[in-house]
């Protein structure tokens, strides 16, 4: 865990974290999966939030805050080990943010990152995450498809 904020991970889910940084290239998988993400490289002085999946907002200069589902941690489903912050803006596939300076507000922690047995299981969980985020952020529309309970991936290997 080193110097990051995981050492003070709260048990309560509603706590606000902030992160500022630049959008960098990820593995380009998100767009193929139907969930494009902006990968944030934190500026000096900003700690990565504790690992988990969050509801929150992406702030871009000159724009109103954009509702988002955010993952923090390693994408172990794809055998990655490096900790990342990835922001999926709800209902927006048109954004090209590479190189942009952004601010992320993480308002509610939904769950732990999990290692799923398949891409399909990850996608099912992402859909539930997004339905949950819509409820929490009171954003309308979109693919509300079922319960907003926990995801049931390979929890034995979750954080
Ligand atoms: C809301 C949300 C939840 C996620 N949860 C997980 C997870 O539990 N496990 C995991 O391995 N990856 C998770 N991811 C990350 C995806 O694996 C990642 O976005 C995808 O592989 C695309 O990565 P790329 O942008 O580097 O191409 C999540 C991403 C989002 C936006």
List of residues 6+ apart from 153 with CB closer than 8 A? 77, 114, 115, 116, 117, 121, 122, 125
Contact 123, 46 (CB under 8 A): no
Cβ atoms of 111 and 150 closer than 8 Å: yes
Would you list the DSSP string of 120-148?
HHHHHHHHHHHHHHHHHHT---S---S--
Nearest CA to ligand 1 atom 13: 75
The reported pTM is: 0.85
- Ligand 1, pocket residues at CB < 6 Å: 26-30, 33, 35, 37, 39, 53, 69, 71, 75-78, 86, 88, 113-114, 122, 126, 129
Measured CA to CA in angstroms, residue 86 lies from 73, 100, 141, 154 at distances of: 9, 14, 22, 21
Report the residue among 55, 56, 57, 77 best suited for mutation to probe ligand 1: largest number of ligand atoms under 8 A from its CB. Answer: 77
pLDDT in tens, 84-97: 999 999 999 888 89
How far apart are the CA of 116 and the centre of ligand 1, in A?
10
Taking only the tens place, the pLDDT of each residue in 96-145 is: 899 999 999 999 999 999 999 999 999 999 999 999 999 999 887 644 33
Q: Whose CA is nearest to atom 30 of ligand 1?
A: 71
| List of residues 6+ apart from 152 with CB closer than 8 A | none
pLDDT of residue 150: 58
In order of their start, the domains of the chain are 5-143 (2.40.30.30)
Mutate to test the pocket of ligand 1, among 34, 40, 71 (most ligand atoms within 8 A of CB): 71
Reported confidence tier of residue 151, pLDDT bands at 50, 70, 90? low
Residue 55: its pLDDT value, please? Answer: 96
For ligand 1, the distance from its centroid to the CA atom of residue 73, given in whole angstroms, is 9
Residues 30 and 77: their CA atoms lie apart, in Å, by: 13
CA distance linking residue 26 with residue 6, whole number of Å: 22
Distance from Cα 3 to the centre of ligand 1, integer Å:
23
Which is more confidently placed, 157 or 44? 44
Per-residue model confidence (pLDDT) at position 126: 97
Three-state DSSP at 136 gives: helix
Render pLDDT for 3-12 as a digit per residue (tens, 0 to 9).
444 444 444 4
14-66 pLDDT, tens digit per residue, is: 779 999 999 998 888 888 899 999 999 999 999 999 999 999 999 998 889 99
């Amino acid at each position: 865990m080193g110097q990051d904020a995981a050492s003070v991970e709260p048990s309560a889910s509603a706590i606000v974290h902030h992160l500022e940084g630049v959008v960098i290239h990820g593995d380009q998988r998100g767009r193929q999966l139907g969930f494009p993400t902006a990968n944030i490289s934190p500026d000096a002085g900003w700690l990565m939030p504790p690992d988990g999946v969050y509801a929150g907002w992406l702030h871009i200069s000159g724009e109103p805050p954009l509702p988002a589902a955010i993952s923090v941690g390693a994408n172990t489903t794809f055998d990655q080990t490096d900790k990342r912050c990835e922001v999926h803006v709800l209902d927006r596939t048109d954004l090209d943010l590479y190189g942009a300076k952004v601010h992320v507000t993480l308002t509610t922690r939904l769950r732990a990152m999990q290692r799923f047995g398949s891409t399909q299981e990850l996608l099912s969980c992402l859909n539930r995450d997004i339905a949950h985020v819509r409820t929490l952020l009171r954003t309308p529309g979109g693919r509300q498809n079922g319960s907003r309970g926990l995801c049931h991936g390979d929890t034995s290997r979750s954080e």
